[in-house]
Amino acid sequence: MVDCRASSGPADPRFFTRVGPFDASVLAETAGAELLPPRQGSFPQDGYTGIAPLQVARARDVSFLDNRRYAPLLEHTQAGLVIVAPAFADKVPEHSAALVTTTPYLAWSRIARLFHPRQIGKGGVHPSAVVDPSAVVDPTAEVGPFVVVGPDVQVGAGCIIGSHSVLDHGVQLGADCRIGSMVTLSHALVGDRVTILPGARIGQEGFGFAVGPEGFESVPQLGRVIIEHDVEIGANSTIDRGSVNDTVIGAGSRLDNLVQIGHNAQLGRCCIVVSQAGISGSTVLEDYVTVAAQAGLIGHIRIGAKARIGAQCGVMSDVESGADVIGSPAMPFREFFRNVAVLRKLAKKASGSAKGDSDKV
Domain 24-115 of CATH type 3.40.1390.10? yes
Cα–Cα distance list, 120 to 33, 63, 161, 178, 201 (Å): 28, 26, 12, 10, 24
The rounded distance, in Å, linking the Cα atoms of 119 and 116 is 8
> What's the pLDDT band for 107 if we cut at 50, 70, 90?
very high
Comma-separated ranges of CATH 3.40.1390.10 domains in the chain: 24-115
Candidates 95, 116, 126, 263; catalytic one? 263
Instruction: State the DSSP H helix or E strand holding residue 75, giving kind and residue range, or none if neither.
Output: helix 71-76
Q: Report the DSSP beta bridge partners of residue 215.
A: 212
The pLDDT of residue 4 is above 70: no
CA–CA dist 181, 67 (Å, integer) = 35
Q: What is the mean pLDDT of the chain?
A: 93
Express each pLDDT in 303-348 by its tens digit. Answer: 999 999 999 999 999 999 999 999 999 999 888 888 888 888 888 7
Whether the ω angle into residue 93 lies within 30 degrees of 0, i.e. cis, is no
Output the pLDDT for position 80: 95
Give the pTM.
Answer: 0.89
- Is 263 in the active site? yes
Residues of CATH 2.160.10.10 domain(s) within the chain?
A: 124-333
**Under CATH, which architecture does the 124-333 domain have?**
3 Solenoid (2.160)
pLDDT of residue 166 exceeding 80: yes
